[in-house]
């Protein structure tokens, strides 16, 4: 197909429009299966269908596909593309196109519209996006409602890849809620579906599933297992869009902080990842690099909490997971050599209770127990320690690790 398309993609060819739609579909296939994004889209958007061409429907379709893989187009402005797409949509009377590219704006409307037109494909997409938004906001139970509806719909319509996507989000939700066996079971089921699709080890969904496995190992303090998977993933994604490589690299840096890897090796991974995420314009993952940097600094003896506070401020109300990490560190009195504020452990507990994050609840209880122990209230401290220990044991979490030390 890639050899045939360049012959069609010229302004004199009678089948140019069909060729452009075909190129977008082929690019979509490349995204799903983890192959390289096609450079042909850049030629289409700049020369074959220029802004002044008046081809509103065709140009909007190409821009929509570019937005779906926008991190590969570092020289294009995401905001500019979105604004232009919406301008083109004003000239169209095609509801199925209008709600594909609205990003986080109006997915509830998109879902209602898709249901009214019985468009299963777009129902699945809207439900996926809604569950993803709720997951980032720490509304894990709400995310499960959407993603389980997505999974049921994909299953009944025979959409194997869609069902695997749904299972990957559901796995992350159960991971966050502390149900690790359920998470692992969903990962394995999703992998079997991807195998049926012929997608074995590449593609966004495959990488998401592997990331979920890594997260479970990290949360259970099985750092060697997590590192082994990440090492394979980093080698496997060479040649993919840079942000995919950077995502695994920064996860590896986080694990290596716990494993006491050499400072220079960890710092290099953080710096490379931060540079890539800055280039692609992903502030969330830039903030992730910063909190791992703060953890590395802490491991190396820097007892300033300033960077953790800055990361918490950037994540608050936007990214529940990063906020949880920062609160855990700020609440740990063993990190701060007397400069600790006990209220952080209460904030951490409240934060974890709100999202029903079991591991966070038990960690917060242990940290509150530390505060009582420092105040010589051993009876209350021991009660809280026992409660936390029972929780860790029930979740098969081996121990809680703080940067630079392990607490039994």
Same domain, 109 and 214: yes
Among 32-41, 254-263, 342-351, the least confident range = 32-41
Q: What is the mean pLDDT of residues 249-254?
A: 94
Question: Is there a single domain that holds both residue 16 and residue 83?
Answer: yes
Residue 252 has pLDDT above 90, yes or no: yes
Of 103, 137, 155, the last residue of a domain is 103
Are 332 and 388 within one domain? yes
Answer whether residue 406 shows pLDDT above 60: no
Domain boundary among 260, 292, 324: 292
- Where is the domain boundary, 80, 103, 126? 103
131-170 in b/e burial notation, b at 16+ Cβ within 10 A?
Answer: bbebbbebbbebbbebbbbbbebbeeeebbbbbbbbbbbb
pLDDT level of residue 46 (50, 70, 90 thresholds): low
> Does 315 share its domain with 391?
yes
What pLDDT score does 119 carry?
82
| Residue range(s) defining the domain that contains residue 344 | 303-408
Considering the domain architecture, whether residues 208 and 281 belong to the same structural domain is answered as no
pLDDT for position 60: 76
Are both 233 and 338 inside the same structural domain? no
**Per-residue confidence band for 195, with pLDDT thresholds at 50, 70 and 90:** confident
Residue 380, in any domain of the structure? yes
Top mean pLDDT of 79-83, 279-283, 342-346, 361-365 is at: 361-365
Check if the beta carbon of residue 398 is closer than 8 Å to that of residue 220: yes
The stretch 181-194 carries a mean pLDDT of 90
Q: What's the chain's average pLDDT?
A: 80
- On whether residue 74 sits in a domain, the answer given is yes
- The highest-confidence range among 106-110, 155-159, 244-248, 291-295, by mean pLDDT, is 291-295
Rounded CA gap, 257 and 289, in Å?
12
Query: What span, in angstroms and rounded, lies between the C-alpha atoms of 225 and 40?
Result: 40
Give the pLDDT mean for 365-386: 92
User: 35 vs 44, 167, 351, CA distance in Å?
Assistant: 20, 22, 39
371 half-sphere exposure, CB direction, 13 A CA radius: 17
Taking the C-alpha atoms of residue 49 and residue 56, their distance in angstroms, rounded to an integer, is 9
Same domain for 204 and 238, yes or no, is no
* Residues 211 and 288 occupy one common structural domain: no
Q: Is the pLDDT of residue 187 over 80?
A: yes
Q: Are residues 331 and 342 in the same domain?
A: yes
Joined tokens for residue 394: 């029930």
CATH of the domain at 189: 1.25.40.10
Number of structural domains found in the chain: 4
């Amino acid at each position: 197909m890639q050899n045939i398309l360049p012959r069609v993609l010229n302004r004199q060819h009678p089948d140019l429009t069909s060729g452009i739609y075909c190129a977008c579909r082929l690019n979509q296939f490349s995204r799903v299966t983890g192959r390289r994004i096609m450079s042909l889209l850049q030629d289409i958007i700049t020369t074959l269908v220029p802004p002044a061409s008046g081809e509103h429907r065709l140009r909007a379709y190409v821009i929509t596909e570019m937005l779906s893989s926008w991190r590969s187009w570092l020289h294009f402005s995401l905001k500019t593309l979105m604004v232009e797409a919406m301008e083109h949509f004003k000239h169209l009377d095609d509801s199925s196109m209008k709600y594909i590219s609205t990003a986080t704006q109006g997915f509830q409307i998109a879902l209602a519209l898709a249901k009214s037109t019985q468009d299963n494909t777009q129902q699945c997409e809207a439900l996926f996006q809604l569950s993803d938004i709720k997951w980032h906001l720490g509304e894990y139970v709400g995310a499960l409602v959407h993603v389980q509806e997505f999974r049921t719909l994909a299953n009944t319509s025979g959409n194997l890849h869609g069902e695997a996507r749904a299972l990957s989000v559901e796995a992350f939700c159960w991971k966050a809620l502390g149900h690790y066996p359920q998470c692992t079971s969903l990962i394995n089921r999703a992998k079997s579906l991807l195998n049926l699709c012929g997608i074995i080890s590449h593609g966004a969904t495959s990488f998401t599933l592997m990331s979920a496995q890594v997260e479970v190992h990290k949360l259970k303090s099985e750092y060697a297992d997590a590192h082994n998977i990440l090492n394979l993933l980093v080698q496997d994604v060479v040649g993919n869009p840079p942000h995919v490589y950077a995502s695994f690299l920064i996860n590896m840096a986080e694990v290596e902080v716990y494993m006491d890897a050499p400072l220079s090796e960890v710092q290099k991974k953080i710096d490379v990842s931060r540079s890539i995420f800055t280039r692609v314009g992903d502030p969330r993952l830039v903030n992730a690099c910063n909190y791992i940097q703060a953890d590395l600094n802490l491991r190396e003896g820097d007892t300033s909490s300033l960077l953790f506070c800055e990361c918490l401020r950037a994540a608050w109300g936007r990214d529940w997971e990063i906020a949880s990490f920062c609160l855990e560190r700020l609440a740990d009195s063993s990190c701060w050599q007397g400069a600790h504020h006990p209220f952080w452990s209460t904030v951490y507990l409240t934060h974890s209770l709100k999202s029903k994050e079991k591991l966070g609840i038990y960690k917060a209880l242990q940290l509150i127990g530390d505060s009582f122990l420092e105040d010589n209230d051993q009876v209350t401290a021991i009660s809280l320690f026992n409660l936390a220990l029972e929780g860790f044991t029930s979740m098969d979490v081996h121990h809680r690790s703080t940067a630079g030390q392990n607490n039994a």
